[in-house]
Amino acid sequence: MSDQTKAQPVKVNDNAEGVDRKLTNYGDPGFSRFLRRAFLSSAGLDTEDLSRPIVGIVNTASDYTTCHRDMPQLIEHVKRGVLEAGGLPFVFPVMSLGEILTSPTTMLFRNLMAMELEEQIRAQPMDSVVLLGGCDKTVPAELMAAASADVPAIALVVGPMSVGSYKGERLGACTDCRRIWTDYRGGQIDEASMAEVNQELAPTAGTCMVMGTASTMACLAEALGMSLPFAGTAPAVSSQRLRLAVQTGRRAVEIGAADRRPSHVMTAGAFHNAITVLAAIAGSTNAIIHLTAIARRLNIRIGLNEFHNIFSQVPHLTDCKPAGSNYLPDMHRDGGVPALLKTLEPLLDLNALTITGESMRESLQDQSPPQKWQETIRTLSHPLGPTGSLVTLTGSLAPGGAVIKAAAASKHLLVHEGTACVFDSLQDLAERLDDETLGLTADHVLVLRNIGPVGAGMPEAGAIPIPQYLAREGVRDMVRISDGRMSGTAYGTIVLHCTPEAAAGGPLALIRDGDKIRLDVPNRVVDLLVEQAELDRRKADFTSRPPPERGWQRLHATSVLQASQGADLDFLQ
């Protein structure tokens, strides 16, 4: 054997990088390194390859997640960027959470995905990781995992769909889906028209193009500093999305070398900026739960009062459905998140670090404020709507807090007192909602309980449909209250996340048909107008339901925190 080919002993290095990180335990670190090289050689990698820093790339592509249809192409462009910057890309799968094809709700599995990804980042050798996601719960799950693992990480979403069209009207998932479905239930659209419209609501790859949860979290990832400028809004089918993928791959190598970790970027100042953007875009109420959960992974405590303090200072600036008339590609055309951040500059923490290594101040230095033609993004002096696009509530019905998207509610219902009609479960709702013998009117308050984090994994069922016979009469909104969530694409006067939830014995469990409920959004109050002595009698009769018998659902139900605490598992925060 010549000197050139003779095997050399592999030295143990406590400051290992690249492929020598996180060795498999065989009781002999040198053997672990040797064995790795043998098996990586079988994958066609040579010594030069294995001398490079490793960039993990999270693959959430799945036939069950239609929004991620073009992710394979995105991965190839990220890999190209990694290789150009001198890194070695390693793609690995993690569970994919497709909102439309998952029962009972992807929210039930957000924490499971976060836990799986955290363990994969911890267990596998990588100097940095690219978080590829898009559909609603994938992005928060990835950011939660990255926060806990604290390996240098950068986020990239698949981007929003293009906008569809039907008979001259622009259409998009899923706010228009809900509006059209309500019209169909009300007898205003026939079957043939519904079939035609159905082909235009989601016309391309990508996530919902309204300001739903996917768009909201994409914008917030950018506001947090965890993704590159314009990465939140560039359309899924655009060449810019592919260029961003390459740039993200290059940046992943750089943050690994700089050891720029999520804990360096996602600071208290970064969350201040994200909440400021959330208010300005009148984003999904789900983001309140997700931001709380991500922050608590970093030991940053954000309560509903902190959300309120920012919401009350920031006007509504972006004209996107469901709290406006346009779509995310319009926001991107008009400057995207960078233009919005420039508008919000006086309200931001400009010292917050971004993934580029620049502070927010430095990143906005050369950014121009929106011009008159950039109509989707308004200015602080000429906002689309007032402050308080989202409102946090308390009161006897939700002593631990609740939320409402006031910007998407009916103004005449923001102060309302009505009679409760209570549904104990989703099944009860499905069986009785359209029963005309209930005698419901537009003034009733529809209450749905036992759909909170413990009760049902917190599905997006809070946007209770308008009873069919009322929809036929032209009723399009009613006050609706639950301990669950609603899709960020939904609209209406809907109180959500009531805490404590019914399954935990909260006041929602004590409501009876015929009780009076008062909602006063300007004063941030939602009250059950029943004497305390009567509530105490009802409380004495309350019996909690047993948790599921086995598996993840049992672990979730016995460990999940309330919505106001981020609905994370208690042992992961």
The whole-number average pLDDT for the span 124-151 is 98
The one-character DSSP state at 182 is H
pLDDT above 80 for 55: yes
What letter would DSSP give residue 527? E
Query: Any residues with CB less than 8 A from the CB of 81 and at least 6 apart, and which?
Result: 245, 246, 247, 248, 249, 250, 251, 252
Three-state DSSP at 54 gives: strand
Residue 304 in contact with residue 401, Cβ under 8 Å?
yes
Q: Which domains, and CATH codes, for the chain?
A: 18-49 (no CATH), 52-162+204-386 (no CATH), 164-198 (no CATH), 390-565 (3.50.30.80)
pLDDT of residue 185: 87
Element (H, E) at 73: helix 71-84
Secondary structure class of 61 (helix, strand, coil):
coil
pLDDT(1) > 70? no
Residue 532 scores a pLDDT above 80: yes
Q: Which range (12-16, 203-207, 313-317) has the least confidence? A: 12-16
- How many other C-beta atoms can be found within 10 angstroms of the C-beta atom of residue 45? 15
Pairing of strands 153-157, 128-133: parallel
Q: What is the structure's pLDDT at 5?
A: 38
State how far Cα 132 lies from the chain centre. Answer: 14
State residue 10's pLDDT score: 41
Q: What confidence score (pLDDT) does residue 9 get? A: 43
Name, in order, each residue with C-beta under 8 angstroms of 533's C-beta and a sequence gap of 6 or more: none
Average pLDDT for the chain = 95
Q: Within a 10 A sphere around the Cβ of 313, how many other Cβ atoms?
A: 12
Q: Which helix (H) or strand (E) holds 338?
A: helix 336-344
What distance in Å separates the CA atoms of residue 227 and residue 245, rounded to the nearest whole number? 11
- For the stretch 319-363, pLDDT in tens is 999 999 999 999 999 999 999 999 999 999 999 999 999 999 999
Output the pTM of the full model.
0.95
pLDDT by residue (tens digit) across 157-168? 999 999 999 999
Q: Would you give the distance in Å from CA 97 to the centre of its chain?
A: 11
